[in-house]
Amino acid sequence: MQLTIEKAKTLKAKPTDESKLGFGNIFTDHMLTVVYSPEEGWHDAKIEPYHAFQMDPAGMVLHYGQTIFEGLKAYRCKDGKIRLFRPEQNFMRMNRSAERLCIPQIDVDFMVDALKKLVELEQDWVPSTPGTSLYIRPTIIASDPHLGVRASNHYIFYIILSPVGAYYATGLDPVPIYVEDNYVRAVRGGTGAAKTAANYAASLLAGEEAKKLGYSQVLWLDGVEKKYVEEVGSMNIFFRFNDEVTTPALVGSILPGITRMSVLQLAQDMGYKTTERRISIEEVFDRYDKGELLEVFGTGTAAVISPVGELKWKDRVIKIGDGTTGELSQKLYDTLTGIQYGELPDNHGWITIL
């Protein structure tokens, strides 16, 4: 497949104060689009000026949510280079999500290559203030104008770019989290392991209710027994019980995070015993009572490493650590971002340099 490039005639003003970027508010001058039809497969790959889509009101994505997305970042480094973190993993995961949502597979190598060209064109948009990056959002939407429930025949793949700061306004300061005991996010056999809009839509009401109680995020329990910890929605969750660093096993209803996978490797490199297993919420509170729960943190592309300072479950509230970032969370944050920003050796071959 050929990639054509049409450059924007006028460029937008870039943000002047990178400390105010926030997350996902600003978009760059160009985007990448590729379209799919049953006759031609994926074709017509273009980098073109950022623009709004014209979509038929009957477009299937608007009715039945047949859509998937990804999230990764480009980092501006002190050596003047721009680095991507494990981009092939994102497109491989996108293909796993595509399979679950009946969306045709994409060519991973082509997409990595096209993404590199897009980021190269937009390199002046990669912010340079510590803690900032260029967030990359690949997406596929179903575009048939049709109201019967079935998989679409036509799709649009696109990538947009957004210069971002920290996902949480609190940065690396610990966040309070509400353990959701009423609503559920996903069930085994459902779409929980796919990066698809429905999982996020299903999480909104619980998130709003938790926010009213002063909690920034919801920790989801399994959808059947509401007994086992699953994930936060915007990030995977980790617990440090003494020297065991553990995260819920990927049982089909949890997003297989690329940061999650990387943190398991880094914690192992640091000499911790890492496990992926069923973790009941009772265990978390019991081990807190025994003094064995030393740290809780979330991991994600957007969230990076986000320490959790408080957990509320039913009528119990526990405060983890002393209210500051834990030792392991800090070490993992420093190591992960050190690799991403090219300041530490890339021992696992995770980095693609533009």
Give the binding site for ligand COI (CB under 6 A). 71, 234, 300-302
Is the backbone of residue 135 left (phi > 0), alpha (psi -120 to 50) or beta?
Answer: beta
What minimum distance in Å lies between the beta carbon of 333 and ligand COI? Answer: 15
What minimum distance in Å lies between the beta carbon of 225 and ligand COI? Answer: 26
Which of residues 59 and 207 has its CB atom nearest to ligand COI in the complex?
Answer: 207
Which of residues 97 and 246 has its CB atom nearest to ligand COI in the complex?
Answer: 97
What minimum distance in Å lies between the beta carbon of 315 and ligand COI? Answer: 29
Which of residues 223 and 300 has its CB atom nearest to ligand COI in the complex?
Answer: 300
In angstroms, the CA 131 to CA 78 distance is: 13
> 10 Å Cβ neighbour count for 57?
7
Which of residues 58 and 204 has its CB atom nearest to ligand COI in the complex?
Answer: 204
Long-range CB contact pairs, 157-160, < 8 A, 24+? 157/33, 157/34, 157/35, 157/36, 157/42, 157/106, 158/31, 158/32, 158/33, 158/34, 159/31, 159/32, 159/114, 159/115, 159/118, 160/27, 160/28, 160/31, 160/50
What minimum distance in Å lies between the beta carbon of 270 and ligand COI? Answer: 23
Which residue number is nearest to ligand COI in terms of Cβ?
Answer: 71
Which of residues 300 and 309 has its CB atom nearest to ligand COI in the complex?
Answer: 300
Among the listed residues 130, 125, 173, the one whose alpha carbon sits nearest the alpha carbon of residue 19: 130
Angle at alpha carbon of residue 173, lines to 160 and 135, rounded to 5°: 10
What minimum distance in Å lies between the beta carbon of 188 and ligand COI? Answer: 21
